[in-house]
Structure 1
Amino acid sequence: MRLVLLGLRMSVGSGRGGLLRAGLMSSGAALGVLLVLACLAAVSVTRAQDERARDRSPVYAADDSGYSTDTDGGSRYTDRPVTAGATRLIEIDDAIGHLPLRRIAIGGATPATELPPGLARFPAPGEIVVSPALAELIRTDARARERFPQPIVGTIGRAGLIAPNELRAYVGVAADNPGLDEQRALEGFGGALRYGRGDEMTDPDVFTPGRYAAGAFTLFVLVPFGVFLATCARLSATTRDRRIASLRLLGVSTRQAAVVNVVETGVVAGAGALLGAVLFSVLAPLSTGWPIGRLQWFASDASVAPGGMALVVGVTVAFAVAVGVLAGRSARLDPLGVRRGAPASRPSPWRLLPLVGGLAGATAAGRGGALPTDARGWLMLGSVLVTGLGLALALPVLSYAVAGLVQRLPVTPVWLGLAAARVRHSPGVAPRLVASLTVAIYVAGLGSLGIALVASDQDLLGRAEQTSDVLLQVPNPTPTLMADLRATPGTTIVALPPVPLTVGGAEANGVLGDCAELLAMYRLAAGQSCVDGQVYWMEFSYGPGGREPDRAGDLRLADGTLLPTPAATLTATPRFNVGISAPVFVTRQVPAVAGFEPETLSFDVVAADRAAVERAARVVSARAPATYLGGDLGGYRGVDTNFMVLFLVCGLIVTFVLGVGSFAAAAVDRTIERRRDNATLIVVGTRPAVVAAGEAGSGALPLALGLVTASAATLVIAFGFAALLKVDAGFVVDRVAPVLWLAGAALLTGLVLTTVPAYVTQRVTAESLRRP
């Protein structure tokens, strides 16, 4: 018990310096615990969202084959037939700007129809029930108001929503609405997650990306938090080691000294960890509607079980104690060396191997053309990770070597020589100060490159610039809807149905359409043009879809009708990622095809820009709410490019904040701890300005070295990526260039955090000279 009380005394009763150290360490533990609990809460949020999404997902009756869908996504056989006139619904995805919107058209509902969670009743034809966020948007935004001209007769409750900002609407339509023809009867809710076009099992509609966010944020948070906490656990390391050494020289055993060290570190870290848990408990219930990009959640979903919170607090304290005890081992085993202030041993050159190996691996992955592509990719990934580890390991060696070069300069200022001497005396102290910031810069550089890759950067991926037009699809539209879309500014309606024909007696396929429709979907070769009323041979730049027929002989329709001889050959390049490979194009104005009706109709809408896409979406939603408009409507949904960019940016911000926080805590503590040594130099006649400059230089030297090394490593990795992706290295450098500016800003911040405290703490007092 006396040892425990002694540890408590050492943790809170060591004067202002001890209290400052305790405050810094507690703050670090509190911040880390808060972030870790927030990551764990993300798991809770996604689990709750997943459950609500499953509860509202429709279950359909058996189709004509007798199969229906289980709630787990499997199939089972049933002899229940589909009842004519039964309740049917279709879920349709839309977007208002970049906000995803889901419209559920339902027809044939009766009082006996099971209701989804959050609904008091289904809307009748011509009515809608909407989420609160959509109701507000309809009130304030003309784009939403024009999509839903129907009266709002209800609001979806929280049980039927994933998040408070979700845009969702149930739209009542007639039971015989053509848009519901292919839908099977509705049995109830609680089925597998899906997009609701029949039983097509595609992407889930729940925000499952949160699962990926939870795991990935853990990487961004736990690694820098580990560095941060380890830094805080070793604050005032020299002073604490001297105290432990003093206890050993007074007769305290190694085990007893370890107990004192455990108590001293554990009390401070435990107080901070508990503070972080309290902060989370206070902030989490207030978080409804807090946005992280497009993401929001209900506060009650963001919860962590008491057992989980206790585990986080316990692991945090245990980690801090382990770092403190292991780092103080030398003081317990060799107390005399610590009391004498013996210089640390020279860092081993072997510490450079991970850094050198990582950079060599990245270069080999970029230049190693003989290796398979998959092997080069895995080699690059491994090199990136090893290089990040190697930066922290190599800093003591590099700092020791550079400080030695500085000492060998023919004319070295006193303050610079003092800084170099301090670096070589304790080569691991200053690099430990800047390691977290150095690694944060490296992670930020690779993160910016990753953002460019995930965002499908056209220059970086070497892709040709795509057209600004957007291709949309409308399945089986009514003539009225087609007329409305044709009248919509900026849209071109395209229908290119296949035409069975023969070429010299051999069966082939043709395409029927107008020249304007062909030009909306394809680009013709230079000098070529299309004239309505003609027939053309077709060649496609992406290659034929099968054996080309012999272009000799008559062209005839399947009923034997003779077609005109093709006027020319058109070479077509698709404007979109779809295409046909028919060898013949027949314009509708050819008299021989007058009155021809294709067996299947396929309609596309080519929108000139995003504004035209928005106008087309409004027309379809308002005129035919049970008809979906397929294609890229501009909404951000699921694990898409914008989510990944958002995730990477947030992760990098957290990493950088923890890195700067770690550096700031260590810099302030280091200045306080150095006051005694600086006071000794001032007493013997050294000018305070020289002492302050030496103090600042001993921190600035490894900081500059670390940031330069991190920037250089980032560039080497970037050049490796450029060679691996086979793109111009200039594009890659442009993507990581902002990080070089960030490194410069970090250097200036570090200089301020080391220089200012060094200059303002030069007043010599008796306490400054007192040995602990």
Structure 2
Amino acid sequence: MTATATRALSPLHDLPVRNSWPRDFALGIRLAVGGGRTAWVRVVLGAFGIGVAVAVLLVFASIGHVLGNQDARVSAGLPRAEVVAGVAPTELVRDDSVYRGRLISGQYLHGTGPGSPVPPGIGRLPGAGEIVVSPALAGLMAADPGLRARFPQRVVGTIADAGLRGPADLAFFGGTGPLPPAAEIGPRAMEVYAFGGAEPEAATDPTLVIVAVVGGAALLVPMLIFVAVSSRIAGAQRDRRLAALRLAGVGAWQVRRIAAAETLVSVAVGFVLGTAAFLGLRLLAPRVEVLGWSAFTSDVVPSPVLAVLIVVLLPVLAVGTVLVSLRRTIIEPLGVVRDGKPVRRRGWWRFVPVVAGAGLLLAAAPGGDPGTASWIAIVATGAAALLAGVPTILPWLLERTVGRLRGGAPSWQLAVRRLQLDSGTPARVVSGVAVVLAGAIAMQLVLLSTGSQYAPERAADDWVTVDTTPAAADQVAADLAGVPAVAQVGLARSISAVSAASHERVTIVVTSCATIQRTLAVPHCTDGDAFLPRTPLQTRPGDVLTLVGAHDTGPRPRPHGTFTVPAGLVPVPQRLSGGPYLGDVLLTPAAATHLTPPADVTARAWVRLAPGHAGATDRIANAVGALTWQTFVSGGTGDLLTADQKTFATISTGLNAGSIFTLLLAGVSMLVLALEQVRERRRPLALLAAAGVPRSVLARSLLWQTAVPLVLAVLAAVAAGLGLAALVDRLLGTPVKVDWTTIGVLAGTGFALVLLVTALALPALRTAMRPDSIRTE
């Protein structure tokens, strides 16, 4: 028995020889905290691992509350167009724009009466020439004079939290004078009688759900493995102490209770540290932004059910791991004290989690309903079980492998012999790395196979379009002419019509010869010419077109006259390479003299950019900003991602960041356990050094002791990652794509961790080799 254990147990009459729960737990606590500096180091290291897991799991448990609060605020700000008797409506025009790839969501408002509805987040409707901006947009406007020029109005306030999805939102509410009828402006305009409509439920994309669920499992399982590994820190010392108690007459159940109490001390300290870390991270939430998504501090609140589950699950996992490791202490305590060779491991049950996880993923129907809790539970449980099977198999695989190794250099033989005597601890050292690598490999391959369907489809980089009203078209052209990044500007007025023959929509465009020649392969054009681009509509000369409102999209739009396609139209290709789509029938102004268009004609400026036009879209939006709601800029390099593309990018970014974090966490775990191994073996190491074994041989031996298990861990991780990716791709209905470069980079990162851990453990190795480490009491 060690001197520490002797001090903790003296006097002898304090031994819990009777079956007393309070005395057993009290002794366990004394062993945890009353053993001097070594005991406290053990408690702190175990508490660190549990604390990190608690903080991360509480963050995960808060995601549902964050998303729920964000959706509630978005729903509260949705305008409702249903007529309410006695309410003077608010005229509203949406005016979204892009700033350096980020969406600026805006609304121009005009109240038609004293009781006109006001959106949440502002106290009153802004007047003409006034604007209320979000705090994030206010900060950007203060830092960028060009962006400030886009909003010439006077800033009269900031939007409160109730009017924003998150603190990083770029949003504004601008005031304006009386607006034209909504039918003349288009779908961006409406009359609002109340705010707070129910947001239409979007169809759930099964691909995004599966990627998020499996990715979450790939990040959470390493956390649980980390808790289990942390609870085994200094396991050999604990086993020897408890074995000595067992030999002194303590019963088997008493040993279990003492070990549980000792473990619960680290768990309690870990929960305090983890909760404090979570509260600190919660305060930093408003400063964290991922692709425009952010959260207020008040949003980051764990789900009560999940919080209770964390409080129950982590202690059970930590204590259960320790109790399972006590089999030798309870059954053969004398062998533990003498460091006897462990019993050969059985392998059949270690493959059960992998088989069960694969079976659940195979049982999940491809293309199933991702909105059902049962389907999500099956997929998440299957992925978690398959990943959890990796650390279960590793000790058995390592034992069978090193048992067949013979010969080699002295450092190799020392390492192999140590692994043959104790393969469980080295397997635990690399189990966290193996699970992280397996999850990272699987998710990278899944993202590779699904990423193509979420790739943004951008417009040609040489063109930007500015939609405007016919009244402001000339002003737009004048403003754009002064932008250095603009090479050419062409104005086009579009008139909607319905073909009497095919009953399909036809777009008649009236524009200048210069615009036609810049965008189409037209060798010659004079005012009065008409052109017929080749389109699937196959409009022909002589066809009668019924003119309708551009924004009248009903099944039976109201007619506004007719137009007969003139004879002598010149057929031309639809567009030049990379050029914009103009319309189905192109008329020069002289050819459209007999055309009487409806009131809601749309106007568009086609802008060709000059070479070297980085940020040109933003400069164009700034140039026409004074026209407020009358312009809408799109195209070029500032295209926005769709909702699904943005969600996929957010998930991908989160999974990549989570993989890096968990890999670093696994590296820390590996370093802690490697240092513990050196500390526990300081006496044999000092004896070897005293016998003349060079320090370099022992250092290489330490390297081999970590490298051999890691090689097996990487092989197991690659197999598990490929298998999980194949099963997930089966659910998604996408072909499996194997990127060996990515796999090689991830595997190389694992080996780099081995070198780093070995280098950091060398000072401890030198300390352990000192002659005073041979001294014993």
TM-score scaled by length of structure 1: 0.76
**Partners in 1 of 2:294 and 2:92 — Cα distance?**
28
What letter matches 1:588 in structure 2? T
**Partners in 2 of 1:506 and 1:232 — Cα distance?**
71
Q: Does residue 193 of structure 2 align to residue 191 of structure 1? A: no
Q: Is the 8 A contact 2:134 2:159 kept in 1?
A: yes
Q: Is the 8 A contact 1:35 1:221 kept in 2?
A: no
Tell me the SS of whatever aligns to 2:193: strand
Give the drift of 1:586: 4.8
**Partners in 2 of 1:46 and 1:509 — Cα distance?**
42
Q: Is the 8 A contact 2:354 2:387 kept in 1?
A: no
Which residue, out of 28, 48, 52, partners 1:31? 52
Moved more, 327-336 or 687-696: 687-696
Give the drift of 1:133: 3.0
Tell me the SS of whatever aligns to 2:629: coil
Q: Is the 8 A contact 1:97 1:635 kept in 2?
A: no
Which deviations, in whole Å up to 9, do the C-alpha atoms of 1:616-654 show, x marking residues without a partner?
Answer: 433554203266556785457866054233322322233
Residue in 1 that maps onto 2:13: none
Give the drift of 1:535: 5.8
Q: Is the 8 A contact 1:501 1:510 kept in 2?
A: no
Residue in 2 that maps onto 1:92: 95
**Partners in 2 of 1:413 and 1:109 — Cα distance?**
90
What letter matches 1:663 in structure 2? M
Moved more, 284-293 or 417-426: 284-293
Change (3 A) 1:41 1:243: same
**Partners in 1 of 2:504 and 2:430 — Cα distance?**
74
Unaligned runs of 5+ in 2: 1-21, 369-374, 481-485, 546-561
Residue in 1 that maps onto 2:330: 332
Residue in 1 that maps onto 2:34: 13
**Partners in 2 of 1:402 and 1:572 — Cα distance?**
66
Residue in 2 that maps onto 1:234: 232
Residue in 1 that maps onto 2:685: 678
Residue in 2 that maps onto 1:271: 269
Which residue, out of 99, 107, 123, partners 2:110? 107
What letter matches 1:623 in structure 2? L
What letter matches 2:45 in structure 1? L
Q: Does residue 438 of structure 2 align to residue 417 of structure 1? A: no
Give the drift of 1:241: 2.1
Change (3 A) 1:605 1:386: farther
**Partners in 2 of 1:37 and 1:425 — Cα distance?**
39
Q: Is the 8 A contact 1:95 1:635 kept in 2?
A: yes
Which residue, out of 408, 411, 431, partners 1:435? 431
**Partners in 1 of 2:356 and 2:238 — Cα distance?**
36
Tell me the SS of whatever aligns to 1:61: coil
Residue in 1 that maps onto 2:470: 478
Give the drift of 1:320: 1.0
Change (3 A) 1:516 1:759: farther
Which residue, out of 164, 188, 191, partners 1:161? 164
Q: Does residue 258 of structure 2 align to residue 252 of structure 1? A: no
Give the drift of 1:122: 1.7
Give the drift of 1:662: 1.9
Give the drift of 1:268: 1.7
Q: Is the 8 A contact 2:496 2:505 kept in 1?
A: no
Q: Is the 8 A contact 1:671 1:758 kept in 2?
A: yes
Tell me the SS of whatever aligns to 2:595: coil
Q: Is the 8 A contact 2:212 2:651 kept in 1?
A: no
**Partners in 1 of 2:307 and 2:622 — Cα distance?**
48
**Partners in 1 of 2:416 and 2:258 — Cα distance?**
34
Residue in 2 that maps onto 1:198: none
Give the drift of 1:240: 1.9
Change (3 A) 1:177 1:761: farther
Q: Is the 8 A contact 1:122 1:172 kept in 2?
A: yes
Q: Among the aligned pairs, what percent are the same residue?
A: 24
Q: Is the 8 A contact 1:667 1:753 kept in 2?
A: no
Listed as ranges, the matches of 1:68-87 within 5 Å are 86-87=89-90
Give the drift of 1:147: 1.6
Q: How many residues align?
A: 706
Q: Does residue 738 of structure 2 align to residue 702 of structure 1? A: no
Q: Does residue 765 of structure 2 align to residue 761 of structure 1? A: no
**Partners in 2 of 1:508 and 1:305 — Cα distance?**
51
What letter matches 2:680 in structure 1? E
Q: Is the 8 A contact 2:65 2:301 kept in 1?
A: yes
**Partners in 2 of 1:43 and 1:747 — Cα distance?**
37
**Partners in 2 of 1:470 and 1:53 — Cα distance?**
33
Unaligned runs of 5+ in 1: 63-79, 195-200, 205-209, 366-371
Residue in 2 that maps onto 1:281: 279
Give the drift of 1:485: 4.4
Q: Is the 8 A contact 1:678 1:762 kept in 2?
A: yes
Tell me the SS of whatever aligns to 1:430: helix
Which deviations, in whole Å up to 9, do the C-alpha atoms of 1:67-112 show, x marking residues without a partner?
Answer: xxxxxxxxxxxxx5697x7432233322222333221211135443
Change (3 A) 1:455 1:579: farther
Change (3 A) 1:387 1:682: same
**Partners in 2 of 1:281 and 1:373 — Cα distance?**
40
Listed as ranges, the matches of 1:291-440 within 5 Å are 291=289, 294-304=292-302, 312-348=310-346, 350=348, 388-389=387-388, 391-407=390-406, 409=407, 412-440=408-436
What is the RMSD of the two structures over their aligned residues, measured on CA atoms? 4.9
Which deviations, in whole Å up to 9, do the C-alpha atoms of 1:149-187 show, x marking residues without a partner?
Answer: 111223333443343333222211112345686655433
Residue in 2 that maps onto 1:261: 259
Q: Does residue 122 of structure 2 align to residue 119 of structure 1? A: yes
What letter matches 2:53 in structure 1? G
Tell me the SS of whatever aligns to 2:93: strand
What letter matches 1:190 in structure 2? G
Residue in 1 that maps onto 2:460: 467
TM-score scaled by length of structure 2: 0.76
